[in-house]
Structure 1
Amino acid sequence: MALSERNTVINPRSVVSLLSRLRNARGQADPYPIFKEIREMGEVVPAPWGAQLITSYELCDRILRDNKSWRALDDAWRTRRADGRWGAPSATELGSVLQGLNPPDHTKNRRSIGNIFDRHTLEKLRGRLESTAEELLDNLSARIQEEGEADFSVLVSEEFTIAAMGHWLGIPRADYDLVRSLSHAHIYAQELLPTPSQLATANVGMLGMRRYFTNLVKERRNHPGDDVISSWIRTWDTLEPDREAADHAVYLLVMFIVGAALETTSTLLSNLVWTLDQHPDQRRWLLANPHEVPRAVEEVLRYDPPVHVTTRYAAQDTVLAGVPIAKDQLIHTVIAAANHDPARTNDPDTFDIRREGGHLSHLAFGGGIHYCIGAGLARMEAQILLSAVVRRFPTLRVSSPPQWESRVAFRHYTALPVTTG
């Protein structure tokens, strides 16, 4: 049966059933058989809410790179679709941040911050990140000695990510818990099918993020220094004569970058431990070859990326893999399915650190103009932490099943118990 024919006979409600399975505990623990079922329905799979799920690596890669045909969900699109889901305050705010902008607005905003994580900046951050990793692992070790096990996600992954952002942007340490909790609430606005209660939570998180980071930008405006936020304020003063508008632009940048890091990097760090625990042969090989940590990080990014689904809309009527797509119609690039596409990767469901070209074979950081601007920092954090774990905890193992938030688009651990016994 031809691909286009396969897609026309799919019952969209069967997709809802599969997505529902992704939300339960079993689906969260191992979502990839479910994504495989969706991918086997075709490259373009209809969903009952009027969108299309894109499952192949080739199509996802093409869409993410083509910002002319496939657009981010900007303010203009959200205004045209201002129903309950897309008219929620937390959702409309996302149309103004970097990930929701299209050229020329995206070009202006992206250029305003420059190459924020170039080699020089990363090397300046490295020493602080290495010492932070050691400190957090000291805390983990002490907790394991006291109680027999400890929560790696809470004590290490979450703390390491907010500490990296906090140090870079100058966020007071006393505010880390607040910022993290607000970000975790706001992320529901980016879920595939958020419930009304999740949207209400997202609205509260968004208002809190706006209040906190608006005040932070105001404080840097009143007391400028040589920090990152003060530098962005000076840049935007040359781009925008209205100081209130300039400060709002800086707020949107800071809020987006912090939120994006807290909702992706912390999951990646926990994924390193969980994935290696589930593949003891690979773990033993890495312990014997610690210089291969960068390859291990890339394979974890391919095997279980922190972001499973991203969304675009069609700029005009078109046809994709034989399926008509109407202007303004939503498409969801299912990165979790694409990263396991056998047309792209041999034996994709096998976790193999020694896989050749691993860094070229995943879409964990997206693509095109919206390629993750923090990819370099995320990789460095992951490599620093995994190197330290391999060196200090050769017998670390997951002591009881992890727990995940009931999400489809953005993975998030709520517990990852570990021990060294």
Structure 2
Amino acid sequence: MTAVDDSGGISSDRRAVISVLRRLRSLEGQSNPHPLWEELRSMGDVVPAPWGGYFVTGFEACSQVLRGRNWLVPDIAWQERRLDPERWQAPATREMSHTLARLNAPTHTAQRRSLGNLFDRQTLEELQPGIEDHVTRLLDALDERLRAQGEADFVATVSEQLPIRAIGQWLGIAEEHHAHILDITHRQVHAQELLPTRSELAISAEATVQLRTFFTELLRERRARPGDDVLSGWIRHWDTRLDDEREVADRVLYYLAMFITIASLETTATLLSVAVWLLLEDPDRWNWLRRHPEHVDDAIDEALRYDPPIHLNTRVAADDTVLAGVPIAKDVMVHVLYGAANHDPRRNENPHSFDILRNGTHLTFGGGAHYCLGAALARLEARTLLTQLLKRFPALKPLAAPTYAPRMVFRRVTSLKVTT
């Protein structure tokens, strides 16, 4: 399969891929991407992208890329080897290229080890009372709004607020800063899209400056008044490791604190919103889970499989290789499509059916060295929210289907109106 025909024109295959990508960004595609994932997967497990590189659609091929040591993230060194390096010079793009998600070994290994197991059982047990309290207070606010107005936006009232409160509590970020961080995150994420426009990159650039200002000041204040919080522990570790290189330590700490904060916000908020929507859209499903709360974790896993918060991630070949029968040259980029992989019928039978008892498999948290650091925290937040929500709001129902931001990488539910 080739993307460009012998005459240099656009082939039918390329036109088909472009058509699917356009529709994925549309309102219809955001509301129901499943047929479009199916359409891409029907073209093969590895599909040429219109701009070069490939989309990876099959579960096994995606898993191989995410877990294989011969696949790397597109780091700064890779970007500087491009023939068109200007494409990678946008300030927000460069900024994110220094974060943990865009580092390869040995730099990634050193930073990852410094964090340890971020959310081990003891940490989650320590965080749980606070998260339960956050959920209780947010659901109190939801109840008040429903009583006063007859309806509420679940996204604005609950699902976008819980992740920033949880991560804020963990890192010691005062509540007065939460709204500012959320706003910056929503604007900065444009730079991580597949094909951001110039205007989107400009918005991201401004947000990037604000992120740097906020977290640089946060670190300065925490170093001046250290405590026994997580951030203070990171400062002590990197100040000791880089004793004579305070400026380098500050850079590492900034990227760690900034990335872990913003990476935990939109993805978890989307999981919460999607899980609630998928349960509420079928009253029988909602009522069944109320009677069987022991299956809340199963419902969360099925929501992660059915509609992952991240639809696409990118890797590059470390060496010449073959993926699902397709030769891939060194440094060529591949885009892993989580949704298409999770809905591969060879892995999950009848994949477009939401089945709480499926006990299926998914790649939503990635794999290998870059497996999602916050997976356990996201699960804890979702479990705590659904458990309380099912008890307190037995008659909750949606007023309309959710609305989504027109994105292809980081999925975001912008509104979910509910009533009782």
User: What TM-score bracket applies, with the shorter chain setting the length?
Assistant: over 0.9
Where does residue 419 of structure 2 map in the other structure?
Answer: 419
**Counterpart in the other structure of 1:247:** 250
Cα offset, 1:7, TM superposition: 12
Aligned residue in 1 for 2:8: none
Mapped pair 1:210 → 2:212: yes
The aligned residue for residue 336 of structure 1 is: 339
Corresponding residue number in structure 2 for 1:170:
172
Contact 1:10–1:46 (Cα < 8 Å) also in 2 = no
Q: Distance in 2 between matches of 1:277 and 1:19?
A: 29
Contact 1:152 1:415 in 2 (8 A): yes
The one-letter amino acid paired with 1:86 is W
Partner-residue secondary structure (3-state), 2:376: helix
Q: How far did 1:346 drift?
A: 1.1
Q: Contact (CA 8 Å) 1:51, 1:329: kept in 2 or not? A: yes
Instruction: State the match for 1:99 in structure 2.
Output: 101
Indicate which of 112, 116, 121 corresponds to 2:123.
Answer: 121
Alignment partners' CA distance in 1, 2:414 and 2:403? 5
Q: For 1:297, what is the secondary structure of its paired residue?
A: helix
Paired residues for 1:1-400 under 5 Å: 11-66=13-68, 68-81=69-82, 83-241=85-243, 242-356=245-359, 358=360, 361-400=361-400
How much has 1:193 moved relative to structure 2? 1.4
Query: What is the CA-CA distance between 1:62 and the residue it aligns to?
Result: 0.9
Q: Distance in 1 between the 2:283 and 2:335 partners?
A: 34
- For 1:281 and 1:55, locate their aligned partners in 2 and report how far apart those are by CA, in whole Å: 32
Cα displacement string for residues 197-245 of structure 1 (whole angstroms, at most 9, x for unaligned residues): 1111111111111111111111111111111111001101222131111
Contact residue 38 and residue 45 of structure 1 kept, 8 A: yes
Task: Single out whichever of 298-307 and 320-329 deviates more from structure 2.
Answer: 320-329
Matched, 1:409 2:412: no
- Say which SS state the counterpart of residue 61 (structure 1) adopts: helix
Equivalent AA in structure 1 for residue 120 of structure 2: D
Structure 2 unmatched ranges of 5 or more: 6-10
The one-letter code matched in structure 2 to 1:403 is T
For 2:124 and 2:103, locate their aligned partners in 1 and report how far apart those are by CA, in whole Å. 26
Cα distance in structure 2, aligned partners of 1:74 and 1:22: 27
Distance 1:22 1:5, change over 3 A: closer
Change (3 A) 1:10 1:379: farther
Contact 1:221 1:230 in 2 (8 A): yes
Q: How far does residue 177 in structure 1 lie from its aligned partner after superposition? A: 0.8
Task: Identify which range, 314-323 or 379-388, moves more after superposition.
Answer: 314-323
Structure 1 residue 403: Cα displacement: 1.3
| Alignment root-mean-square deviation, CA | 1.6
CA distance in 2, matches of 1:56, 1:282: 29
The count of residues paired between Structure 1 and Structure 2 equals: 413
CA 1:6–1:79: 2 relative to 1, 3 Å: closer
> Which letter does structure 2 place at the counterpart of 1:410?
F
Query: Aligned AA for 2:407?
Result: R
Deviation at 1:10, TM superposition (A): 5.9
TM-score by length of structure 1 reads 0.95
Cα 1:252–1:213 change in 2 (3 A) is: same
Give SS of 1:11's match.
Answer: helix
For 1:129, give the aligned amino acid. Answer: I
- Give the AA of the match of 1:166: G
- Structure 2 distance, partners of 1:197, 1:229, is 34
- 8 A Cα contact 2:304 2:364, kept in partner: yes
Q: Give the letter aligned to residue 175 of structure 1.
A: H
Spell out, residue by residue over 1:143-174, the C-alpha distance to the aligned partner (whole angstroms, 9 max, x if none).
Answer: 11111110000110111010001111011111
1:13–1:299 distance in 2 versus 1, CA, 3 Å: same
Deviation at 1:325, TM superposition (A): 1.5
Q: 8 Å contact 1:237–1:246 — kept in the other structure? A: yes
Secondary structure of 1:255's partner? helix
Which residue identity lines up with residue 116 of structure 1 in the other structure?
A: L
How big is the shift at 1:319?
A: 2.1
Do the aligned residues in 1 keep the contact of 2:59 with 2:347 (CA within 8 Å)? yes
Q: Which one is further off, 115-124 or 320-329?
A: 320-329
SS in 2 for 1:410: coil
Tell me if structure 1 keeps the 8 A contact 2:397–2:418.
Answer: yes
Q: Which runs of 5+ in 1 are unaligned?
A: none
In structure 2, C-alpha distance between the alignment counterparts of 1:354 and 1:85, rounded to whole Å: 45
Look up the SS of the partner of 2:87 in the other structure. Answer: coil
After TM superposition, give the deviation of residue 322 of structure 1 in Å: 2.4
Q: Is this contact kept in 2: 1:7–1:41, CA < 8 A?
A: no
1:278 shift after superposition: 2.5
TM-score scaled by structure 2?
Answer: 0.95
Contact 1:166 1:176 in 2 (8 A): yes
Taking the aligned partners of 1:221 and 1:383, their CA distance within structure 2 comes to 34
The sequence identity of aligned pairs, in percent, is 49
Q: Distance in 2 between matches of 1:266 and 1:7?
A: 40
Whether contact under 8 Å (1:10, 1:41) holds in the other structure is no
What's the secondary structure of 2:88's corresponding residue? coil
Please list the CA deviations of residues 354-399 of structure 1 after superposition, one character each: whole Å capped at 9, or x if unmatched: 113x3xx011100001000110100000000011111111111110
* CA deviation string 1:277-320 (max 9, x = no partner): 22333222211101211111111111111011000111122222
**Residue identity opposite 2:308 in structure 1:** P
Give 1:16's aligned amino acid. Answer: I
